[in-house]
Amino acid sequence: MSKTFTSRPAVSRGRGRGNQLNAQPVNRPLGRARPPGTLEGMENSQVGGATGNSNDLPPGVQATPAERRLTYQGGYSVIPPNEKKRQQIIQNAQKEEKALQEHRQRNTQTSFNYVGTVGGGQVSQQESRSHLVQSSPNKVQRQLQQQQRKSFVKQKEEEDIVKHKAKQRAVAETNERRKQEEAASQQQRWDEQKRRTNDAFLRRLENKGKKQGAVNSQGPPQTVQTWETQENEEREENDDEFVQRMGEASMADAEENSADYAGLLVEQRRGLTTLHFMFPQYPVDFIRGILEQTNFSLDAAATVLGE
């Protein structure tokens, strides 16, 4: 619970607008102003104590100088400032300011040495400050630096992509050239094998013709034959059959450029030629259809044709 303390009537009515004892009309005529340095209604001892002319001051207290005496200006009293003290304060301030300037001049560095800069050297204070202002990161500079970094990274990625594409293009060209070289060498080997087969076939035909001519010139063959003679004749018949098949192979190779072999790879042509040798009773187009149905499998096509 709070408690309110009221002031005593004597104290509260001493001064202020509520003082009814000293109430006077507002439009009361004012008297003549007192001359400066005098106070009406005061005794001489009191005036002297106010102006500093009294000898009743306590020991150790100096009287107020004449230039600082209290002057009454009608509505207020004026105490002039102490000029001596003011001049002393101004002199002390000037002395301290001079000492401060001398201290700054003694302790100010004339140049700065950047240890981490390229080449080293001496940099003046003005240059150091301008460099600091130019290199200080602000919003615009940060955005420009970020944009430069992004453009640099993008350019680096584009260069890497171009290099990768060029490398892959070179690999593809190398593979294509190697494939063409392998096809050319394979065709060359196939032509050489075909030439040797044709030469062997022609030689065997010449030898067979010479042998038949010699037998006809000697007369009819003898009826009595030994076991070795019969074995030699069977071997010769097998050789003749092989030569005949090789000759047919050479003829079939000559026919590879026909419409039956169009659009086939080298391995597919070989498979078609092999099946045609094995089953000469079927035409080439029929064998090719069987091969296409069996996905160019020789075993499956041979099984179908042999049934």
The greatest distance separating any two alpha carbons of the chain, rounded to the nearest whole angstrom, comes to 197
Please state, in angstroms and rounded to a whole number, the distance separating the CA atoms of residues 307 and 301: 10
- Residue 73 lies inside a defined structural domain of this protein: yes
Question: What integer is the mean pLDDT of 213-219?
Answer: 61
Whether residue 141 lies inside any domain: the answer is no
* Average pLDDT of every residue of the chain: 72
pLDDT digits (tens, 9 = 90+) for 252-284: 554 555 667 777 787 878 888 888 878 888 888
Give domain status of residue 181, yes or no.
no
Can you read off the two tokens belonging to residue 147? 């944009």
Confidence of residue 39 (pLDDT cuts 50, 70, 90): very low
Would residue 282 count as lying in a domain? yes
Instruction: Specify the number of domains making up the chain.
Output: 2
**Six-digit token string for 69:** 């005496």
Q: Is residue 75 part of a domain?
A: yes
185 within domain boundaries: no
For the segment 91-110, what is each residue's pLDDT rounded down to a tens digit?
Answer: 999 999 999 999 999 988 77
3-state secondary structure of 206: helix
Strand 77-78 with 111-113, pairing: unpaired
- Which of 203, 302, 291, 193 lies closest to 250, judged by CA? 193
Q: Which domain holds residue 83?
A: 46-55+64-95
Q: What is the mean pLDDT of residues 61-90?
A: 80
Higher pLDDT, 250 or 75: 75
C-beta neighbour count of 104 within 10 angstroms: 9
In this predicted model, which residue has the larger pLDDT, 197 or 251? 197
Residue 76 covered by a domain: yes
Residue 246 covered by a domain:
no
> 158-162, 236-240, 303-307: which has the highest mean pLDDT?
158-162
